[in-house]
Amino acid sequence: MTIIDTRGLSCPQPVLLVRKAIEAGQKPLQVLTDSATARDNVRRLAERLGLSVTITEANDEFTMTLE
């Protein structure tokens, strides 16, 4: 599983990093973020590309699994 750490990055950087990884065939992905906006944008991208998304939250950070 490829891990992409986007904590501390503002949009659109998290979305661009995730898109690049998906286009390179790096699946499944685990995306770490500390931004609700990035969480929502990455989820929309993944779902638009046909991936399932699981999100967990702990300590104001989100872990997203894209498969």
**Residue 47 is part of a domain; what is its CATH number?**
3.30.110.40
pLDDT bracket for residue 17 (50, 70, 90):
very high
**What's the pLDDT score for residue 27?**
87
**What's the pLDDT score for residue 60?**
92
**What's the pLDDT score for residue 40?**
97
Task: Name, in order, each residue with C-beta under 8 angstroms of 18's C-beta and a sequence gap of 6 or more.
Answer: 4, 6, 29, 31, 42, 45, 46, 66
Count of domains forming the chain: 1
21-67 confidence digits (pLDDT tens):
999 999 899 999 999 999 999 999 999 999 999 999 999 999 999 99
What range defines the domain where residue 7 resides? 2-66
Contact by Cβ (8 Å): 52, 66: yes
